[in-house]
Chain A
Amino acid sequence: MAATATAYGRLRDYRQLVGQFLTGPGLPLLFLGLGLWALIGRTDAFVIGVVTGSVLALGAIGLTLIYGILKFAHFAHGDAMMLAAYIAFFALTGVMVGERTDTKVLPWTLSDLPGATKPILNFSFGYGLLIAMAVAAAIMVVVFIVLDRLIYRPLRRRGSGIVIFAIASLGVAIAMRSLILIFWSSFGRFYVPGIRPTTDLPFGIRILSDQVFIFWAALVLSALTYVILFRTRLGKAMRAMADNPELALVSGINTDRIIIWTWVIGGGLVGIAGVMLALQAQLKPELGFVLLLPLFASTILGGIGSPQGAFVGAMVVGITEEVAVTLGFISPGYKFSVAFVILILMLLLRPRGLFGAKT
C-alpha cells in the first residue's frame, strides 16, 4: 500500500517536472531544437521559412505594438497589409478595374519616372516599387490615424472593453477587403509580370532574388523598431504605457501622442509588410485574412508587446510551416494549420509567450 502511494507520488513528481519544464524553458528549447534540426536537415525549407517569417515579422511587430500599447487585438492588420499592397500597386501602375476589365485611370504613375522599372541589382523590380512602398506606408499611417480618431478613440473615451475594439477592427477588416474587391476585383496580380530572377546561395540553394531583399528589409526594419523602442525617449514612453497606461499618464507622458506614434509605426510597418507579402506571393484580396492567424500566432508566441519576441515568433511560425510541408508531415492545404497548432499549444502551455514576463 505504502509502496503504491510512493510510486504514485513519484509519478506525480515526474509529471510536475515535465509540466514545469514545458511551461518553463522547455518550449523555447523545443523550438530552438526544431530550428537547428531544420537548418541542418532541410536547409532549403529552412531558408524559405525564414523568408515567410520575414514577411510575418514585419506584420507581427506592428501588431504586437498595437496589442501591447493600445491593449486590443487589431483584427484588421492582415487586411490592412493587403490594402497597402494594392495601394502600392495602384501607385505603380495606375490600374483599376473599370466597367469590366482593367483600365489605367491615373494619367501619370510612378512607372513613368525615368528608369523606374529598370531592375535594381538582380531583383525583379526597379526603384519605382520602393517609392510605391513608401507611398503605401505613408497612406497606411494616415489611414490608421484617421481610423483611430474616428473609431478607436471614441471607444477608448467610453471605456469600452477589448472585445468591442476587436469587433470594431473586424468590421474595419471587412470594409478594407471589400474596398480592394470594389476597386481591383478578385484576380491575383503581380507587381512585375513574368519570370523572376533567382539567386544561388551556398549549399546549392536557389531562391528568388526578391526573397533576399525581403529578408534584409525585414531584418533592418525590425532592428530599427527595436532601436526606437529601447534606445529613444519615445520608446521608453511607449514601453511605460504598455506596462501601465494610468501610471504613464500621471508621470507626465502624453499618452495621446504615444497612441499616434504607435499607429505611425504600426501603419508604416503594415505598408511595407503588405508590399513584401505581395512580392513574396502575389496580390490577392483574401490573402490578408488568411495571414491573420499566423500573425496572431507569432505575436502570442513572442509575448504580446515584445517586438523582438514577435520577430522570433514569426520566424518559428514561418520555418515550422515550410519545414512541415516540405517534409511531407502535412499536405500544403493544411499549411496554415501549423500556425493554429502553435497558437493552441502556446495558449495551453505558456500563454504569456516565449519572452513574456511571468505573471
Chain B
Amino acid sequence: MKLPAVLAGGALKGQIKGERLITPLTVLAITAAVVLMPAERSNWDVGGVISFLTFFATFVAIYGIFTLGLNVQWGYTGVFNFGVMAFFLVGANAAAIITKPPANTEYVRYVGGFGDKLAFIPVLDSDQWLPFLFGIAGAAFFAGLLAFLLSIPTLRLREDYLAIATIGVAEFLRRVTIEEPGLVNGTRGLTGIPRPLGELVSTGDYKFVMLAIAVATLALVYVAIERGIRSPWGRVLRALREDELTTAASGKNVFAFKSQGFVVGAMIMGIGGAIYAYANGAVSPDTFTHFFGTFIFWAMLMVGGSGNNKGAILGAYVVWGFWTITLQLQGYDLPTVVASRIPFIRDFVVGSLIVVVLLLRPKGLIPEERRVSMWVERHAKRFRDLPPTPAEEVESPVTDQGPGRDRSADA
C-alpha cells in the first residue's frame, strides 16, 4: 500500500513557487474590485455597497450550485454535458409554474399553477415555505427525468456524442418554450414568481433572506456531494471517469453508474434553476442562451478546478466577480467605442479565458484532491505517523501524480 504517499500527494508537490500565488492573488484582485468599484461609484455609501454585495453573493451561491452539479457530471463522472441550459431551463420553469397561482388572464398562460393548493398545512405560515419546497423538488425531479431520458440513447456511445446531443436538447427545449405559448407563457416568460418567506420580512430586508436561502441550499448540496463522492458510490464514479474498461472488468455496471452521475448532476442543476427563479422573480427565454445558460458554468468549473467542489464554488465566485466588474465598468466614463461593446468584449474574454486555463493551468485554481475516502481520512493520522519504507520513497514521485491517469494530461 502506498497510502502515506497518497496522503502526501494532497500537498501537490512539484509546483513552481510563484505559481502558488496565482490562486490567492486572483481571489484578492476579484474581491478588491467587487468591493471597491461599487463603493467608489456610490461615494462610499455603506448601505448601497452592502446591498450590492448581498445580491452579488446570492448569485454567486446560485451559480455555485450549477457548477457543483456540472462538477458531479464532468469532474467526478466524466460525463460530458454541453447542455447545462436545458436543466437550468427545466428547473427554473418547473419551480415557477409549480409555485405560481393558476394563470387567469388570456395574456398570461402557463400550465401548472398549484401555488395556492400546496400550502395544505394550516399552521406555521406554510404558504410561505411549503409550495417552494415542492417547487424545488419538482425542479429536481423534472431535470433528473430529462437527464435519464437523454442518457438512454447517448451514454453508451462516445463521450462527445453526448455533448452534441445535449446542445441539441437545450436548443430544442428553448424553442419549445418559445413556440408553445401555453406552456410557460412563450416569449414573455413568467414574471411575478412568488418569493419564499417573502411576506415574513419587509421588502428592504428580503435580499438577506434570499441570500440565506441560496447559501443554505449551496451548503446542503455541497455537503451532500462531498459525502456522496467520498463513499463507495463516489469512488466508482471516479474510477469510471479514469478508466471505463477497468471499472467494467471489476464488475461495475458502467452504464448504470454513469447514468446515476448524470442524473444526480442534472437534479442539482434543476435545484439551482429553482433557486434562480425564486431569487430573480422572473424567467424568460432570454435568460436561457447557450452562452449564459451553459458556457459560463463550464468557464466557472474549468477556472475553479474540475473534480474539486471547493474549486467549483471558487470558480463561480471568480467568473461571476469578473462579470460583475465589467457591468460596473459601464458606469465609468469610457469612450463610446469601448462602452457600447463591453458585453461583447466580456464574452470574448470569458471565451478566451477557458482556452487559456486549459493551456496554462489545466487543473484550475484549486486542483483536484487526491484523498477520496472517508475511511482514509479517519485513519489518516495513523498512516502519517508511520515512517516511510524505502520502497515508498522511491515510489512517491510517481504517486504524486495521483492515483490512476494524471488529470493534467486530460483536464
Contact B175 A337 (CB under 8 A): yes
A168 contacts the other chain (Cβ, under 8 Å)?
yes
Our pick among A73, A168, A175 for the contact of B163 (Cβ within 8 Å) is A73
Do B153 and A348 touch (CB < 8 A)? yes
Residues of chain B with a CB closer than 8 A to A100's CB: 336, 340
Residues of B within 8 A of A114 (CB): none
Are the CB atoms of A178 and B175 closer together than 8 Å? no
In angstroms, how far is the closest chain A Cβ from the Cβ of B237? Answer: 16
A284 contacts B by Cβ under 8 Å? no
Task: Indicate if the CB atoms of B298 and A170 lie closer than 8 Å.
Answer: yes
Q: Is there contact, CB below 8 Å, between A178 and B344?
A: yes
| Residue in A99, A170, A337 whose Cβ sees the most chain B Cβ within 10 Å | A170
Nearest chain A CB to B377's CB is how many angstroms away? 29
Cα–Cα, bound, A351→B158 (Å): 9
Task: List chain B residues, Cβ under 8 A from A337.
Answer: 172, 175
Among residues of B, the one whose C-beta sits closest to the C-beta of A333 is: B179
With a cutoff of 8 Å between Cβ atoms, the chain B residues found around residue A162 in the complex are: 158-160
A170-217 CB contacts (< 8 Å) to partner B? 170-175, 177-179, 181-182
Roughly how many angstroms separate A181 CA and B344 CA in the complex, as a whole number?
A: 6
- Interchain CB contact (< 8 A) of B409 among A160, A167, A296, A331: A160
Complex Cα spacing A179 to B325, Å: 20
Interface string of B214-246 (1 = CB under 8 A from A): 000000000000000000000000000000000
- In the assembled complex, which residues on chain A have CB atoms less than 8 Å from the CB atom of B157? 347, 351
Residue B39 lies at the interface, judged by CB distance under 8 Å to chain A: no
Q: Which B residues from 334 to 370 make CB contacts under 8 A with A?
A: 336-337, 340-341, 344-345, 347-348, 350-355, 358-359, 362
For chain A, the bracket of interface size reads 35 or more
| In the complex, residue of chain A having the shortest beta-carbon distance to the beta carbon of B347 | A178
Shortest distance from the beta carbon of B341 to any chain A beta carbon, whole Å: 5
Instruction: Determine if A98 is an interface residue (Cβ-Cβ < 8 Å).
Output: yes
Kindly state the separation between the CA atoms of A168 and B354 in the bound complex, as whole angstroms. Answer: 7
Q: Does B82 lie at the interface of the complex (its beta carbon under 8 Å from any beta carbon of A)?
A: yes
Bound complex: CA A290 to CA B352 (Å): 21
A114 to chain B, nearest CB (A): 34
Indicate if A263 sits at the interface (CB-CB under 8 A). no
The chain B residue with its CB closest to the CB of A67 is B160
- Interchain CB contact under 8 A, A344 and B168: yes
Chain A residues with CB below 8 A from B169, complex form? 340
Query: Nearest Cβ in chain A — how far from B343, in angstroms?
Result: 8
Which A-chain residue is minimally distant from B169 (CB atoms)?
A340
Contacts of B344 on A, CB cut-off 8 Å? 178, 181-182
- Residue numbers in B under 8 Å from A333 (CB-CB): 175, 178-179
Given the known inter-chain contacts A181-B347, A293-B164, A334-B179, please indicate yes or no for A340 contacting B352, CB distance below 8 A: no
Residue of B163, B341, B347, B355 most packed against chain A (CB within 10 A): B355
Contact: A171 with B351, CB < 8 Å?
yes
In the bound complex, residues from chain A placing their C-beta under 8 Å from that of B175 are 333-334, 336-337
Chain B residues within 8 Å of A296, by CB? 164
A72 and B160 CA atoms in complex are apart in Å by 8
Residue of B nearest to A293 (CB): B168
Whether A347 and B298, one on each chain, are in contact in the complex, defined by CB atoms closer than 8 angstroms, is: no
Name the prevailing secondary structure of the A interface residues.
Answer: helix
* A347–B355 CB distance below 8 A: no
Chain B residues with Cβ under 8 A from A98's Cβ?
Answer: 337
Q: How far is the CA of A340 from the CA of B179 in the complex (A)?
A: 16
Q: How far is the CB of B34 from chain A (nearest CB, A)?
A: 23
For residue B154, CB closer than 8 A to chain A, the reply is: yes
Q: Select from chain A the residue with minimum beta-carbon distance to B296.
A: A174
CB pair A175 B409 closer than 8 Å? no
Selecting from A86-94, A118-126, A151-159, A251-259, the interface stretch reads A151-159
1/0 contact string of A116-159 vs chain B (CB within 8 Å): 00000000000000000000000000000000000100110011
Chain A residues whose C-beta falls within 8 Å of the C-beta of B411 in the assembled complex = 164
For A336, the closest partner residue in chain B by CB is B171
- Bound-complex Cα distance A229 to B366 (A): 46
State in angstroms the CA–CA spacing of A163 and B293 once bound together.
Answer: 19
Least Cβ distance of A189 to chain B in Å?
Answer: 16
A160 to B363, CA, bound (A): 13
* Minimum CB–CB distance for A359 against chain B, Å: 11
B186-220 interface bits toward A, Cβ cutoff 8 Å, 1 = contact, 0 = none: 00000000000000000000000000000000000
Is A300 among interface residues, defined by CB-CB distance under 8 A? Answer: yes
Are the C-beta atoms of B161 and A166 separated by less than 8 Å?
no
B336 near A167 with CB under 8 A, answer no
Shortest B165–chain A CB gap in Å is 7
List the A residue with the shortest CB-CB distance to B152: A348
With A182-B345, A336-B171 known to touch, is A99 a contact of B336 (CB < 8 Å)? yes
Closest chain A CB from B176 CB (angstroms): 8
Closest chain-B Cβ to A220's Cβ sits at a distance in Å of 29
Q: Which residues of B contact A343 (CB under 8 A)?
A: 164-165, 168
A175 touches B359 (CB 8 A): no
Do residues B410 and A161 form an inter-chain contact, with CB atoms below 8 A? yes
- Give chain A nearest CB distance to B69 CB in angstroms: 17
B345 to chain A, nearest CB (A): 6
Does chain B have a CB within 8 A of A55?
no
Complex Cα gap A250–B2 (Å): 38
* B77 nearest CB across to chain A (Å): 12
Does B291 sit at the interface, judged by CB under 8 A? yes
Distance from B360 Cβ to chain A, minimum over Cβ atoms (Å): 10
By a CB distance below 8 angstroms, the chain A residues around B167 are: 292-293
Assembly CA distance A175 to B74 (angstroms): 23
Q: Which residues of A contact B317 (CB under 8 A)?
A: none
Q: Does A355 contact B (CB under 8 A)?
A: no
B371 at the interface (CB under 8 A from A): no
| Min CB–CB distance A315 → chain B (angstroms) | 20
Q: Is the CB of B159 within 8 A of A347?
A: no
B409 / chain A contacts, CB cutoff of 8 Å: 158-160
User: Is B358 within 8 A of A171, CB to CB?
Assistant: yes
In the bound assembly, the distance between CA atoms of A155 and B167 in angstroms comes to 23
Q: Nearest Cβ in chain A — how far from B307, in angstroms?
A: 13
Q: Give the residues from 94 to 111 in chain A that come closer than 8 angstroms, CB to CB, to chain B.
A: 98-100
**CB-CB nearest in chain B for A158:** B409
B354 near A171 with CB under 8 A, answer yes
Residues in chain B near residue A331, CB distance under 8 A? 179
B interface residues with partner A (beta carbon < 8 Å): 74, 78, 80, 82, 153-154, 157-161, 163-165, 167-169, 171-172, 175, 178-179, 290-291, 295, 298, 302, 336-337, 340-341, 344-345, 347-348, 350-355, 358-359, 362, 408-411
Q: List 19 A-B contacts (CB under 8 A).
A: A99-B340, A155-B359, A158-B408, A159-B409, A162-B160, A164-B410, A166-B160, A167-B358, A168-B354, A177-B347, A178-B344, A178-B347, A181-B347, A182-B341, A334-B175, A337-B172, A339-B168, A340-B169, A343-B168
4 tightest A-B CB contacts, nearest first: A174-B351, A178-B348, A175-B351, A171-B354
